Structure 1
């Protein structure tokens, strides 16, 4: 017979494992930067230009922005920034001004109409130094 602490541990372990499995199942729908040309394709899509026309410094900034987005934003918004997420709206096309307002001050730029009425998102000031890379990745993208 399991004691209460062991039951809780097993429940948490089962939850973590199921989340990991569901995330792995969804990976087939995510852009795959590990596939041949995957990162270049993502960068070129974000830059809106052929691969040869992407400035290497800009390509690096876009790739960094994509990495920051996947690590910090995709759980609530969507792995595809052009699609709405479970908690947050699509963020493709987000300007630097919008990103600064949302991430640093939990507000909106003057005159901006929010896509959703929810107030779930909190400020993420630890991303202050990544706003430029996020803007480089998200700004040129179009909502799906």
Structure 2
């Protein structure tokens, strides 16, 4: 599972401080660049404390740093920004099919029979619904058209 926060390694902090010094900004300027209301996450980043991963990645991006090189134990399964995650639709479809097969009988038992107010015996749900035939032309109104 992907962690919600990241923290910088001591070597990463030094690298980030060098890049930060080149910009000539203060922590408030960097916070404004990252669209933060306070500079606390910036301070936490530079002291090696955990920071929200999106903020961590934005700080690294603005300082032209590779966030995976700065982070302490970066998660391997977290995709690089701009990179699409691998499609898992086949796995999901397999899980859905397994779940449906396991729960089909339970759902049919619980929801397949209705007790209607005016009828004394239960009614199977398949007896209520019927197939519908759709006509392209309404047969009852065909006689209204006069032949021309």
> How does the TM-score come out when normalised to structure 1?
0.25
Query: Based on CA coordinates, which of the two structures has the bigger radius of gyration?
Result: 2
Which structure features the higher share of strand residues? 2
Q: Which structure has greater helix proportion?
A: 1
Higher RCO (C-alpha 8 Å, min separation 6): 1
TM-score (norm 2): 0.24
